[in-house]
């Protein structure tokens, strides 16, 4: 199963290549509190850091300088240099036995990759649906029933037949109300079912909802509501979202690297690569959309 952390790694690998990119890395060899303004790096790797941006776990911070003898690194602006660029100042665990890696000037910070992944997940709906089910007991005088608050639309409705057949009859006469009176329906969502179902029997409603964003590194991709194979679709979409940042980087002519590479890397190269990843994304998205439509058709389509 693909975890959030694994998906982040896959996206970064696609963007940087598997062997060509060599990040400057250092090792955090002592714990760092969320409000610390210094941290300790192994003396054999501290020189890999430079003044400016570094990444520890998902936090970006600004380095002011370091002591090569002690390995102590100071944060620029004290606490103002923690949680830089919209990241969160957090505690970080490190030791000489199991040090935490520190990336100097990361080309694609993990927090930006995570944002792109969740943006892609959110954008796939409604092209690719996330389904949920609720069962409602039929009441003799009642035609309108409350729906869960996360319901976006109704896909199909079935009613439980009397007897041992174990068949759920497709119901055709229903109407979803996404703006129901909250006095009567606390969720503000309801469904009106007009087909006959024997009172006391269940009415099963399959509805669509928004995908759930990923939050923790260990969280499995299926927590989004999508199957694990859809992670590949998200990978291509996130790459397409992130690559244009390289084009913006070309405008930063104060950077020695961008100035030197400008003649070697043609203008719009990143945009062309982003278009390639975007093509992969839309191709896989349409494949999964067709597959979903065939596996979970609405009863209206099935009966037609």
- Local confidence pLDDT in tens for the 304 residues of the chain: 999 999 999 999 999 887 666 789 999 999 999 999 999 999 999 999 999 999 999 999 999 999 999 999 999 999 999 999 999 999 999 998 999 999 999 989 999 999 999 999 999 999 999 999 999 999 989 999 999 999 999 999 999 999 888 888 999 999 999 999 999 999 999 999 999 999 999 999 999 999 999 999 999 999 999 999 999 999 999 999 999 887 766 655 555 555 555 555 566 777 888 999 999 999 999 999 999 988 887 766 545 4
Provide CB contacts within 8 A for 281, sequence distance 6+: 120, 233, 236, 237, 239, 240
- d(CA 61, CA 23) in angstroms, rounded, equals 17
Structural tokens at position 166? 């174990």
Core vs surface per residue 184-215: b (16+ CB within 10 A) or e: ebeeebbbebebebeeeeebebbbbbbbbbbe
pLDDT of residue 255: 53
Q: What is the pTM of this model?
A: 0.88
Q: What integer pLDDT is reported at residue 18 of this predicted model?
A: 73
Strands 59-66 and 168-171 come out as: unpaired
Look at residue 304 in the predicted model and tell me its pLDDT: 45
Scanning the structure block, which residue is given the tokens 């100042």?
89
DSSP state of 89: -
């Amino acid at each position: 199963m693909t975890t959030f952390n694994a998906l982040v790694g896959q996206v970064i690998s696609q963007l940087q290549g598997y062997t060509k990119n060599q990040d400057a890395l250092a090792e955090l060899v002592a714990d760092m509190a969320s409000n610390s303004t210094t941290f300790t790096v192994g003396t054999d790797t501290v020189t890999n850091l430079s003044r400016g941006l570094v990444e520890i776990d998902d936090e970006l911070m600004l380095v002011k300088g370091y002591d090569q003898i002690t390995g102590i690194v100071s944060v620029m602006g004290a606490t103002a240099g923690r949680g830089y660029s919209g990241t969160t100042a957090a505690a970080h665990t490190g030791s000489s036995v199991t040090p935490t890696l520190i990336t100097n000037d990361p080309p694609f910070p993990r927090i930006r990759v995570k944002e792109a992944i969740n943006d892609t997940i959110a954008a796939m709906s409604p092209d690719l649906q996330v389904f949920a089910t609720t069962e409602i007991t039929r009441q003799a005088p009642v035609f309108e029933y409350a729906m869960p608050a996360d319901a976006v639309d109704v896909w199909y409705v079935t009613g439980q037949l009397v007897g041992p057949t174990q068949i759920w009859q497709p119901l055709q006469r229903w109407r979803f109300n996404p703006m129901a009176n909250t006095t009567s329906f606390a969720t503000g969502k309801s469904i009106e079912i007009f087909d006959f179902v024997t009172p006391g029997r269940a009415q099963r409603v399959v509805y669509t909802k928004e995908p759930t964003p990923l939050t923790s590194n260990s969280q499995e991709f299926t927590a989004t509501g999508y199957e694990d194979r859809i992670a590949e679709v998200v990978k291509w979409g996130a790459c397409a979202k992130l690559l244009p940042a390289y084009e913006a980087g070309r405008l930063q002519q104060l950077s020695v690297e961008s100035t030197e590479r400008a003649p070697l890397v043609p203008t719009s190269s990143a945009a062309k690569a982003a278009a390639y990843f975007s093509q992969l994304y839309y191709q896989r998205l349409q494949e999964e959309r067709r597959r979903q439509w065939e596996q979970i058709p609405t009863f209206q389509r099935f009966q037609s």
